């Protein structure tokens, strides 16, 4: 396409500035809204993944084969003999993608207070100075304080569980469970802290304690652990990193390494649903844009019927007429996208800096697919989606101009010139 034809196309756009500006404003506002939606949906996906993995789950888990999801206390890493936990953690941390790793032990039992109230609970044993590197349960304390290696018989419980059995910080509780050797494990512990996550399963049914204390209660030797939780530098690489770790760690001992999409299938399904909704919204807008742009280009063509007929009579070929109309559509799209990006930039900044308050004046947290998101939904940069929106709108403009261009190319010069 010649430079002269492009110049002619650009001048033609501004022969009716009002119509061009209206079309540009519509496309620009649409692009700005697509940027807004893409940013918000990407932020929601990120918040759900972060919040869904950082409380207890972690981004990657390493288990003995067959341990997950039944969580039998017998199936520890390395079998009955256990494993060198320090060496295992060192092997995992050697991966440059790994930010931190921490061992865990799980159990199930009955917790009871001194006045007789009791409840069934899940028991989680962690290393107090390592676990906060991969999860943030330590930041959810509403009363008391988190675990300490200096207080092996202190535990933390959820606020709903504390209400059910009627305990406060400083209260003594008894934990009763079946140990790995078949005996009954029981011991007296002190409630050192109470947490609130917003998830009923954790707040009502979880007791967290030092790893060594739970190993002692379950009659497990120090080398026997059920899981290693892992946090990555980049959570989007979880599946690939898990696959690589599985191959490398299998040379040390039998392991099953799982990333968060496998550990939390409901969360993974929602993330995919979120992406699908984004694409559907994009498609709907593109469909509306086709109608608007085609109408604009058809009006422009019919208003210039006589002019186009004269150009064809003077020697302009049908292919050049098509090129002229397509160039006008491309120019309209390019100018609209630039304007839309300028309009959308402040919206994206606001979403990323301040978020969208969906909790209203109450400040209520919002839970989606079993994950606490919070009352503020923050946006996140998604350059891939921004590019898809821009390319999609540009393609939409060109496709919309095909029919008007085809009509213009099939004008008969002698009839077109007689049009008033």
The position carrying tokens 């008007």 is: 404
pLDDT for res 364: 55
Average pLDDT over residues 248-252: 93
Q: Which of 104, 106, 102, 100 is nearest to 69 (CA)?
A: 106
Which residues, other chains included, contact 129 with Cβ-Cβ below 8 Å and sequence gap of 6+? Answer: 149
How many angstroms separate the CA atoms of 162 and 173, rounded? 10
pLDDT for res 78: 92
Residue that terminates a domain, selected from 209, 234, 263? 263
**Per-residue confidence band for 356, with pLDDT thresholds at 50, 70 and 90:** confident
Residue that terminates a domain, selected from 208, 232, 263? 263
pLDDT for res 398: 82
Do 286 and 251 share a structural domain? no
pLDDT for res 363: 52
Average pLDDT over residues 171-187: 91
How many angstroms separate the CA atoms of 249 and 241, rounded? 12
Do 18 and 128 share a structural domain? no
Do 199 and 163 share a structural domain? yes
The answer to whether 300 and 19 have CB atoms below 8 angstroms apart is: yes
Do 109 and 24 share a structural domain? no
Do 135 and 47 share a structural domain? no
Q: What is the pLDDT of residues 340-355, one digit of tens each?
A: 899 999 989 998 888 8
**H or E segment to which residue 287 belongs:** helix 265-303
- Residue 122 Cα to chain centre, angstroms: 28
Do 83 and 45 share a structural domain? no
Do 194 and 70 share a structural domain? yes
How many angstroms separate the CA atoms of 212 and 218, rounded? 10
The pLDDT of residue 99 is above 80: yes
Lowest mean pLDDT among 59-63, 334-338, 407-411: 407-411
Do 242 and 201 share a structural domain? yes
For residue 84, give both structure tokens. Answer: 């060198």
The pLDDT of residue 419 is above 60: no
CA dihedral 358, 361, 365, 369 (to 10 degrees): -30
Give the count of domains, the chain: 2
Q: What is the pLDDT of residues 134-149, one digit of tens each?
A: 999 999 999 999 999 8
Residue that terminates a domain, selected from 204, 236, 263? 263
Secondary structure class of 232 (helix, strand, coil): strand
Between strands 367-368 and 141-144, the pairing is: unpaired
The position carrying tokens 């379950």 is: 218
**H or E segment to which residue 120 belongs:** strand 118-126
The answer to whether 55 and 378 have CB atoms below 8 angstroms apart is: no
Secondary structure class of 194 (helix, strand, coil): strand
**Residue 13: Cβ within 10 Å count:** 21
The answer to whether 27 and 393 have CB atoms below 8 angstroms apart is: yes
- Residue 360 Cα to chain centre, angstroms: 23
Do 233 and 173 share a structural domain? yes
pLDDT for res 420: 47
**Per-residue confidence band for 318, with pLDDT thresholds at 50, 70 and 90:** confident
pTM of the model: 0.78
Average pLDDT over residues 287-313: 70
Do 313 and 259 share a structural domain? no
Question: 245-260 as b/e, with b when 16 or more CB fall inside 10 Å?
Answer: bbeebeeebebbbbbb
**Per-residue confidence band for 370, with pLDDT thresholds at 50, 70 and 90:** low
Angle between the N-to-C axes of helices 383-409 and 17-54, in degrees from 0 to 180, rounded to the nearest 10:
150
Question: 344-356 as b/e, with b when 16 or more CB fall inside 10 Å?
Answer: beebbeebeeebb
In a 10 Å sphere around its CB, with 0-12 CB exposed, 13-18 middle and 19+ buried, how is residue 136 labelled?
Answer: middle
Between strands 206-210 and 118-126, the pairing is: parallel
Do 282 and 244 share a structural domain? no
* Rg of the chain taking only CA atoms, in angstroms: 32
The pair phi, psi for residue 11, each rounded to 5°, is -65, -35
- Residue 330 Cα to chain centre, angstroms: 34
The answer to whether 297 and 325 have CB atoms below 8 angstroms apart is: yes
Q: What is the pLDDT of residues 10-31, one digit of tens each?
A: 777 777 778 778 778 888 888 8
Structural domain containing residue 379: 3-52+268-417
Do 203 and 125 share a structural domain? yes
């Amino acid at each position: 396409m010649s430079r002269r034809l492009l110049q002619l196309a650009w001048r033609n756009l501004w022969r009716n500035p009002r119509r061009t500006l209206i079309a540009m404003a519509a496309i620009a506002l649409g692009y700005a809204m697509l940027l807004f939606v893409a940013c918000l949906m990407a932020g929601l996906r990120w918040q759900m993944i972060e919040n869904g993995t950082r409380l207890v789950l972690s981004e990657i888990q390493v288990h003995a084969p067959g341990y997950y999801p039944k969580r039998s206390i017998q199936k520890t890493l390395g079998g009955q003999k256990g494993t060198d936990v320090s060496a295992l953690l060192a092997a995992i941390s050697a991966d440059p993608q790994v930010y931190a790793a921490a061992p865990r032990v799980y159990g199930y039992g009955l917790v009871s207070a001194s006045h007789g109230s009791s409840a069934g609970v899940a028991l989680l044993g962690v290393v107090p100075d390592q676990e906060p590197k991969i999860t943030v349960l330590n930041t959810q304390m509403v009363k008391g304080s988190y675990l300490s290696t200096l207080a092996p018989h202190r535990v933390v419980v959820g606020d709903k569980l504390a209400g059910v059995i009627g305990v406060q910080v400083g209260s003594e509780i008894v934990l009763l469970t079946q140990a790995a050797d078949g005996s009954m494990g029981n011991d007296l512990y002190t409630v050192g802290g109470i947490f609130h996550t917003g998830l009923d399963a954790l707040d009502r049914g979880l007791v967290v304690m030092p790893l060594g204390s739970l190993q002692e209660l379950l009659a497990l030797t120090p080398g026997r652990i059920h899981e290693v939780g892992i946090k990555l530098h980049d959570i989007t690489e979880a599946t690939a990193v898990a696959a690589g770790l599985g191959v490398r760690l299998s040379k040390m001992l039998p392991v099953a390494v799982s990333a968060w999409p496998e550990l939390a299938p409901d969360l993974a399904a929602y993330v995919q649903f979120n992406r699908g909704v984004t694409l559907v919204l994009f498609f709907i807008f593109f469909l509306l844009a086709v109608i608007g742009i085609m109408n604009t280009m058809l009006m422009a063509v019919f208003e210039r019927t006589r002019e186009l007929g004269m150009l064809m009579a003077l020697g302009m070929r049908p292919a050049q007429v098509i090129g002229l109309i397509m160039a006008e559509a491309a120019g309209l799209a390019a100018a609209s996208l630039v304007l839309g990006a300028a309009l959308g930039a402040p919206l994206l900044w606001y979403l990323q800096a301040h978020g969208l308050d969906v909790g209203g004046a109450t400040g209520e947290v919002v839970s989606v697919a079993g994950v606490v998101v919070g009352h503020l939904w923050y946006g996140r940069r998604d350059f891939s989606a921004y590019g898809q929106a821009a390319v999609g709108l540009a393609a939409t403009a060109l496709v919309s101009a095909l029919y008007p261009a085809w009509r213009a190319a099939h004008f008969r010069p002698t009839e077109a010139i007689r049009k008033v």
